[in-house]
Amino acid sequence: MNNRSQARAATEGAFAPAVFCDFDGTITELDVTDQILTQLAHPSWRDIEREWALGMIGSRECLERQIALVDAPVEELHAVIDSITLDPHFGDFCRFVRRQRIPLYILSDGFDYVIRRLLKRAGLAAHFRNGSHLFASALRVEGRRLLPSFPHAAESCEHGCATCKAAIIRRLSRGRQPVVFVGDGMSDRFAVEVAGVIFAKRQLLAHCRENGIACHPFETFQDVQTGLEKLLAPAPARRYRQPVPALS
């Protein structure tokens, strides 16, 4: 914590934000799992996607059945992963939160194998190991097949999440506020229920607007960083207040 946030923590009680981020479509521009399925799986993966979109199955069952439809050599898997671009501001954002001593966690239904390969390319993988700052589904490559497992599905989860983002946020955010969540999709809709400050784009933004959930629209991590800088700024009008601060 820097001097300014220490001073504020002393006068306002605990001001110690934690940031939780979705990966696919939030840190990446495209959904990597969708790309893998589109290019390497039997097209019936879309029928399973429809069952998930209709709420008939949770994301865990959805991914388990979809990833079983992939039949391709590992070189093709790597080629799909390597075609994905990251938000160009995400690296700077990681350095910004580190300077501010704000913990940053990536929470994803997607696969650690894929996420770590992409973060490694950006020079960011060292900090994010599955189970520590990265909470994702796990993947083992065996010949032409992909074998998933779900180390962060929660017993208590009623939605059948592959990675129960809400349960992880509840566990890791104890004693921290505000709880900041950054996301883009419908798999983030349970996570925003346990967050105090929400940055949203695409379907998550639409979901928040439809349900009267206060959120800050964003396009890139530069916007998220600017928003957090305003939260951290000392100007009285921009102080963090419960339940959701105004950023402008």
Amino acid letter, 85: T
Q: Which of 148, 61, 164 is nearest to 107 (CA)?
A: 164
Q: How far is the CB of 62 from Zn ion (least distance, A)?
A: 13
Among 161, 192, 204, 232, binds Zn ion (CB under 5 A): 161
Identified binder of Zn ion from the candidate list 157, 195, 204, 205, rule CB under 5 A:
157
Minimum distance between the CB of residue 194 and Zn ion, rounded to whole angstroms? 10
Q: Which is nearer to Mg ion, 185 or 227 (CB)?
A: 185
Between CA 96 and CA 104 the distance in angstroms is: 10
Q: Which of residues 181-240 bind Mg ion (CB under 5 A)?
A: 184-185
Residue 161: name its binding partner from Mg ion, Zn ion, none (Cβ under 5 to 8 Å by kind): Zn ion
Give the residues across from 180 on adjacent strands. 19, 197
Q: Tokens 């419908």 — which residue?
A: 186
Is residue 109 within 8 A of residue 187, CB to CB? The reply is yes
Min CB(31)–Mg ion separation in Å:
6
User: Which of Mg ion, Zn ion, none lies near 112, with the C-beta cut-off 5 to 8 A by kind?
Assistant: none
Name which of residues 10 to 49 contact Mg ion (CB under 5 A). Answer: 22, 24-25
Going by their DSSP bridges, the two strands 145-149 and 133-142 should be labelled as antiparallel
Cβ atoms 181, 192 nearer than 8 A: yes
CA distance 70 to 160: 22
Site string for Zn ion, 170-189 (x = CB under 5 A): --------------------
Dist CA 141 CA 157 (whole Å): 27
Question: Which of Zn ion, Mg ion, none does residue 22 bind to, with CB < 5 to 8 Å depending on kind?
Answer: Mg ion
159 vs 170 by CB, closer to Zn ion: 159
The residue among 68, 37, 204, 221 whose CA lies nearest residue 229 is 221
Name the one range near Zn ion by CB under 5 A: 22-30, 140-148, 156-164, 175-183: 156-164
- Which residues lie near Mg ion (CB under 5 A)? 22, 24-25, 184-185
